[in-house]
Chain A
């Protein structure tokens, strides 16, 4: 089996390329994605290969991009809109929440929206307030949306492949900090990473980490550097999250730390914490802890204080070590 060492940008680009080659219903649309190849170059070269009708440089209007994509999807195409930064998605929020998410339901199953909305999200690139946000909880809170975030190039290809065959709208959140920082062996042939299945990326007995996206490498590094005997769960799909994998691990370890970049209050950590408390409280040997971004806007100069780091994770680990 052949494979290549690819970073996440290359993995996403080559996946789009291979799907577009065999399915002419796949249309990419967004700001600067064509000639320019996207501000992160994720769609580089695709317009040259597939033409301006299939890789559309759109006017600068997020709600128009998303609304147009929904109309295309209803008409039998498979649009892949790109929102340049997730921070800019909010004018399209109405389209996502009231059109895309509710289309199948409100039409009694007559219409559906097979759309994969790709957007870079998260901090760590000195992007300040408007190029760093992690809005996954907004989307996860909306019935009808499916929310995905890969943490490495292998999963990026597998999850995108599954999304491109999925018949409901997917919010595909790409952790921009990881775009070029990790390379994986990515098989050339087709494969899928199933939607809704987490990955146990490190195994141990003392503690469970639940995390996703850009925090996965941080947690893994912290675990290996400090010889922590911990399970590390990479959710991969944020909604619907893989409750079974979380519970199996928690029942084994009895201790949980949830790590995400998004603000703490009503972030995914809140949901996962409640989920565990409802079903496994008898197994818990200590409080469920969260290491997250604070409830402030995302600061520019002080971003290192905002992002969860090894020190903050270890602080939580030490706190849990007090419970035996």
Chain B
């Protein structure tokens, strides 16, 4: 794929992710979806990272990584089925919306408790090193996660054991209602030095800047087997979740379509480079809308999971206790 094609494809994914995001939020307001954590604003940094990765790299993501998943080829259906919690969902409708799982694309299943994915990513990195493989692990988390003991444990262990783990902090400036200034006294990327690993900050709203940094750092990690902390500075344009009203705690905003919007920034640069024009942009947006609308209607028709599936997968083989409870309830 040449550079033009690569970036136009990246842009297309960003638009698709944004379109899906808005569709789900609207559907939630209409009572068609239970809950959602919008990704709006974090498209460029996720797609920029994804562009730098190989197929066999492992992702230990968090609950706001839709653009990342789409760019790695996770089908729209997989994401919408999870949002609906229907019978085609990889997780059999067990998790709240936004907690995807896509093993086929090396995405771990998403947890709610923040940063608990980080120590797991370290273990996955250890397995890679032990088996002398060449793939790497990327783990994503928000700025709030950097206050947790799990962040500390994972950063420390990845450095002590020299493991190929990319810690991608998606600093969207807000942990629900707490601004990043009240989360931590120092800039996040600077914490890397205390653990003995590379650390750097990048404008996560700029697709081109993000890709450049991601490519260089992923390559270093792949070649040296050493971890890195990348702070991708971005902005959570939407609420934390559909249950949250940010007007209660913040006045700053980056409105959609404004010059701080990563999609607008990408469009400007793509046009400057002559990779895309206004007609193509409109075309991409129309295509995304048509596709999302169509898939959404289609997946809404998928029936819910069968009740007995609730009792499966607790263990490889159900215990007598679970079998008995199943009999009592169903």
Contact = CB atoms under 8 A, between A and B. Distances in A.
B128 to A, nearest CB: 7
Given A63-B153, A68-B126, A76-B127, A107 B116 contact: no
Interface residues of A, number: 47
A204 interface: no
Contact of A71 (B92, B123, B152, B156): B123
A75 interface: yes
Q: Which of A64, A74, A103, A243 has most B Cβ within 10 Å?
A: A64
Contacts of B94: 105-106, 108
B249 interface: no
Interface in B147-173: 149-150, 152-154, 156-157, 160-161
Nearest to B110: A106
A104 interface: yes
Contacts of B241: none
Given A64-B157, A70-B120, A107-B103, A167 B316 contact: yes
Interface stretch (B69-77, B186-194, B253-261, B307-315): B307-315
Contacts of A91: 149
B122 A67 contact: yes
Given A59-B157, A64-B156, A108-B91, A71 B320 contact: no
A111 B108 contact: yes
Given A105-B94, A106-B99, A243-B320, A64 B122 contact: yes
A178 B157 CA distance: 33
B330 interface: no
Contact of B90 (A56, A98, A110, A166): A110
Contact of B119 (A56, A70, A103, A104): A70
B90 A107 contact: yes
Interface in B51-66: 58, 60
A108 B313 contact: yes
A74 B124 contact: yes
Given A61-B156, A104-B313, A110-B101, A71 B127 contact: yes
Contact of A59 (B130, B156, B320): B156
A111 B316 CA distance: 11
A146 B317 CA distance: 12
A168 B127 CA distance: 18
A85 B125 CA distance: 27
B153 A67 contact: yes
Nearest to A167: B316
Interface string A104-118: 111111111000000
A71 B126 contact: yes
A53 interface: yes
A68 B119 contact: yes
Contacts of B243: none
A192 B103 CA distance: 32
B319 interface: yes
Contacts of B127: 71-72, 75-77
Contacts of B99: 106
A79 interface: yes
A95 interface: yes
Contact of A68 (B92, B108, B123, B313): B123
Interface in A193-244: 196, 240, 243-244
A196 B315 CA distance: 13
B294 to A, nearest CB: 25
Q: Which of B116, B127, B161 has most A Cβ within 10 Å?
A: B127
Interface string B67-98: 00000000000000000000001111011000
B177 interface: no
Contacts of B315: 104, 144, 146, 168
Contact of A107 (B60, B91, B113): B91
B289 to A, nearest CB: 30
B119 A64 contact: yes
B321 interface: yes
Given A27-B130, A98-B116, A168-B315, A106 B123 contact: no
Given A72-B123, A106-B91, A63 B316 contact: no
A160 interface: no
28 contacts: A61-B149, A63-B119, A67-B150, A70-B120, A71-B121, A73-B123, A75-B127, A75-B128, A79-B123, A94-B150, A95-B150, A98-B116, A99-B116, A99-B120, A104-B315, A105-B314, A106-B94, A106-B101, A107-B109, A108-B91, A108-B94, A108-B109, A110-B90, A111-B103, A143-B314, A166-B316, A168-B315, A240-B321
Given A67-B120, A71-B120, 13 more contacts: A59-B156, A63-B149, A66-B119, A67-B154, A70-B123, A72-B126, A73-B123, A74-B108, A76-B127, A104-B314, A105-B313, A108-B89, A240-B319
Interface of A: 27, 53, 56, 58-59, 61, 63-64, 66-77, 79, 91, 94-95, 98-99, 102-112, 143-144, 146, 166-168, 196, 240, 243-244
